[in-house]
Structure 1
């Protein structure tokens, strides 16, 4: 094994899963099987937790009996969707028909290429969609809801008639949902049809503006309910129609619906334990060593790259900690955090032409990691709190690891009075900082902290001091 080649390979790992070599590095987990088996249709998780990696892996699945299509809403003009409501539904259900239409249309187009489907049906579908080339999703949707697609081939050729009443005459696409639904129920085969909804956070901005918030949340709520409708109309014991929604956990949290608890049966919230991170790293290091070689155990994979010496830390450098626990302490237990560490450490080892990553390299990487984490969190929170960079500056100005809540409130209100921060609601800011694990709670047990990335159900306790996440210390000049 040429260790320099391994360091070079790892230094080229990508933080963004869409740019990664998915075939080589995708770590297959049980959650992927649950999606493909139809047990899971909602994949929720933090930015960097691995949603995109799963999504990218799913899009590679294809074959004679599996058809996959990703509907990505990156840079999508959401205002176009807001105009496509069904007036016969009350809010927030007015977009259910639209989402079902997108799902059914996507499947109908996939059926054209499925030789297991009756030839006559495929010919009819090909006639319907003959002038519908692959293009950007926004342009495709405009065409699908427009007047140029002739559904009379299906409605008259197969004897389907729409029973839609009270439909706005300007939106005839609404009638087509029933026709497509009947077509799928009568003629779809037992192939697997995966329809993946991704990058739905593109319109997650101005969420505190009432109207923007209502339209966006209604659109998402309708999507979740449309998926439930499709699952009930096409049960897993007879059909394999699998719409899958990928969404950030902070966005999912603000979706409100009486049926939301029922969605939990079909939902997975991606979280990682230390042991799972170890398994992921062992897999990726093994693949960096050899694309087709054996998967090493974590200790074996780790020792190929890192020397055995612990990291000295604390006052006088008298305390000792292993390199992996040191990384864990700075991370939020997300795959992306460890990929960032591994990239930086490998780059430095390569530059120094040394055979093992040393403690000094890990400590130096911790500096750049801290700045990366701050930037990542600012990007993530900015749509909710535009002042987030100034709030980070405020924490830096206080310059304490543990801060009494009243002290933070005083500093916040003072900055507010000086016009440095526009957001007025300090309790709202504290809740958001806790939600994203910028801060945690420090109970009386000094060796124990409560962070939401470790305990997803935790809520901020104003009676306990707040503690800043250790991964931010250097970026905020706390130590």
Structure 2
């Protein structure tokens, strides 16, 4: 890059509000798998880039591509809760209500977005029946999807569907049914809706219904929450298989945090994992994707706004001819202070950029430091601001599920060093937080579960070298109660005032 001082920032950390981040994900395999209708489930840790791909899907505008995105910050879960189908296993009790919501969402696209429809006589007949049902049920061909399960609503079944009305409960009309009674016939209604929507679609066009922000209100002890998520995954899989069999390009796609997916237990989970799941990871043995390559895309996008240069490498921004302490490259030094998430890397890079620009404007600037690139002193200067950001990020995720974590952080502050022995932690815990209802092992395990700390794992013959194991690197790695040596995440060193000894 010709003049780094002209760069304001390397973009934002929030995919909801940053176009640069959206552009940077265009070649990610998870995004490409969706566009190719190969996989529908995208799994990754918070901040890994799921929402960037979700936004990319739902904001793409083309004459042959249509989408609708569901986010659940304002979704009326209490209405959906009432749609649980009684008398069937928990894993499946919400599957049919999810299918209904998906099919109504696709109907909205068919009736209001794709101007190529109807594209033949079969499509015309199916659309006519579909429109009649939607207008009759919701008063408009463009219904408000947050009101799909409003219990005050009734939907007419005749003459739109040919159902076995003997299954209706006593007192219910064969002409119409209340939303409260919909679970009694929803399986049959979905079957008829499925035929109509799939027959309506243009086989040359692409259609997507996407679900994000499913972690809002996450509680791994709430059975209904777990059942709803399982129901969505099963509904998405079934509809996607039906669409493929009908030879139309329609995909239900779901974005979910990896720690939430890991706690789900249901039949066929392994089949979904093996055949329909894309994993968003960075710098792990399971992927070729690195945060460095992502940042290089971001650098190039930023450079194109101020320069003719398009292909910007990491070493064009950071002076990698000088090592950081411990003989680390600047990339590894920064990466170790992240949760291997784009948002963390972008935040650190922006903080370092700001310190670089401050250095250029300072008359006391050291001539040893590179005047064209971010150098060691800029990295050091950025660490405290970044460390405060990092703790705030953790707080956003942890405070609901681990409300006493701040008291345990006080214990780590009092320990005072980056690496510590279990015996030291036990002594300080008894002094700082004597009223804790957790044993030292329980406290360490909880700190590990949220990646505040990692435990030492000794290497051995044939098993590779020794290492510190952190949950953020592998969400499936369990805590070792046998370990006696621990390390605090490097991103917390400054904010906790620790010594690196």
**When the two structures are superposed, what TM-score results if normalisation uses the length of structure 1?**
0.85
1:263 pairs with 2:272:
yes
Q: Distance in 1 between matches of 2:96 and 2:336?
A: 47
* Matched position secondary structure for 2:255: strand
Corresponding residue number in structure 1 for 2:290: 276
8 A Cα contact 2:4 2:373, kept in partner? no
Give 1:20 shift. 0.4
- For residues 67 and 286 of structure 1, the distance between their equivalents in structure 2, rounded to whole angstroms, comes to 29
Larger mean Cα displacement after TM superposition, 381-390 or 436-445: 436-445
Residue 424 (structure 1) shift: 3.3
**How far off is 1:8 after superposition?**
0.8
SS of 2:253's equivalent? strand
Query: Superposition pairs for residues 314-353 of structure 1, below 5 Å?
Result: 319-351=326-358, 352-353=360-361
Cα deviation digits, residues 167-225 of structure 1 (max 9, x gap): 695534443323212323444342322111111111215x44xxxx1111111111112
Instruction: Give the corresponding residue for 1:475.
Output: 495
Q: Deviations over 1:137-195 (max 9, x none)?
A: 53x3345x65355454632xxxx335783669553444332321232344434232211
Query: Helix, strand or coil for the counterpart of 2:254?
Result: strand
* 1:103 CA drift (Å): 0.7
Change (3 A) 1:403 1:4: closer
Using the TM superposition, name which of 430-439 and 467-476 deviates more.
430-439
After superposition, the Cα gap between the structure-2 partners of 1:425 and 1:381, relative to the gap in structure 1 and judged at 3 Å, is: farther
The 1:135–1:14 alpha-carbon spacing in structure 2 relative to 1, beyond 3 Å, is: farther
Indicate if the aligned counterparts of 1:344 and 1:365 stay in contact, CA closer than 8 A.
Answer: yes
CA 1:85–1:338: 2 relative to 1, 3 Å: same
In the alignment, which residue of structure 2 is the partner of 1:316?
Answer: none
Q: 1:235 aligns with which of 224, 235, 244?
A: 244
2:365 corresponds to which residue? none
How far the C-alpha of 1:349 sits from its partner, in A, is 2.9
Shift of 1:128: 3.8
- 3-state secondary structure, aligned to 1:154: coil
Q: Find the counterpart in structure 2 of residue 38 from structure 1.
A: 37
Q: State how far apart, in whole Å, the 2-side matches of 1:416 and 1:164 are.
A: 64
2:84 is equivalent to residue 85 of structure 1: yes
CA distance in 1, matches of 2:304, 2:169: 59
Partner of 1:434: 448
Length-normalised TM-score, structure 2: 0.81
The answer to whether the 8 A contact 1:329-1:470 is kept is yes
Identify the range of structure 1 (92-101 vs 166-175) with the bigger mean alpha-carbon deviation.
Answer: 166-175
Could you say if the C-alpha distance between residues 182 and 425 of structure 1 is closer, same or farther in structure 2, counting changes exceeding 3 Å?
Answer: farther
2:217 corresponds to? 203
Pairing of 1:245-264 with structure 2 (within 5 A)? 245-264=254-273
Taking the aligned partners of 2:331 and 2:466, their CA distance within structure 1 comes to 19
CA 1:443 to 1:424, structure 2 compared with 1: closer, same or farther past 3 Å?
closer
1:119 partnered with 2:124: yes
CA distance in structure 2 between the aligned counterparts of 1:44 and 1:322, rounded to whole angstroms: 29
Equivalent pair of 1:49/1:271 in contact (CA under 8 Å): yes
**Aligned match for 1:443, one of 439, 445, 457:** 457
For each residue in 1:227-261, what CA deviation from the matched residue of structure 2 results, as whole angstroms up to 9, or x when unmatched? 22223333367232311111111222221213222
Where do 1:299-310 residues align within 5 Å?
300-308=312-320, 310=322
1:77 Cα deviation (Å)?
A: 4.0
1:38-187 matched pairs, under 5 angstroms: 38-112=37-111, 113-114=113-114, 115-117=116-118, 118-130=123-135, 131-132=139-140, 137-138=145-146, 140-143=147-150, 147-152=153-158, 154-155=160-161, 160-161=162-163, 165=167, 170=178, 171-174=180-183, 175=185, 176-187=189-200
Instruction: Tell me the CA shift for residue 463 of structure 1.
Output: 1.4
**d(CA) in 2 for partners of 1:197, 1:473:** 37
Alpha-carbon distance, 1:428 to partner: 4.9
1:415-452, Cα deviation, whole Å (9 max, x unpaired): 5543xx4x536555444433332222212358632223
Report if aligned partners of 1:416, 1:424 keep a CA contact under 8 Å in 2: no
Distance 1:125 1:294, change over 3 A: farther
CA distance change for structure 1 residues 431 and 79 in 2, over 3 Å: closer, same or farther?
A: farther
Which of 394, 401, 404 in structure 2 is aligned with 1:377? 394
Q: Distance in 2 between matches of 1:165 and 1:393?
A: 61
Partner of 2:7: 7
Query: Structure 1's 244 and 430: CA in aligned 2 closer, same or farther, altered over 3 A?
Result: farther
Shift in CA distance, 312/65, structure 1 to aligned 2, threshold 3 Å: closer
CA distance in 1, matches of 2:17, 2:83: 33
Secondary structure at 2:457's aligned position in 1?
Answer: coil
Cα distance change on mapping 1:355 and 1:60 into 2, 3 Å: same
Q: Does 1:357 align with 2:358?
A: no
**1:452 corresponding residue in structure 2:** 471
Equivalents in 1 of 2:336, 2:473: separation in Å? Answer: 12
**For the residues of structure 1 that align with 2:34 and 2:92, how far apart are their CA atoms?**
25
Q: List alignment gaps of at least 5 residues for structure 2.
A: 173-177, 362-370, 460-464
Please, which moves more after superposition, 261-270 or 271-280?
271-280
Deviation, 1:282, is 0.9
Q: Is the 8 A contact 1:282 1:295 kept in 2?
A: no
**Match of residue 409, structure 2, among 389, 392, 402:** 392
What is the aligned residue count? 455
Between 261-270 and 79-88, report the one with greater CA deviation.
79-88
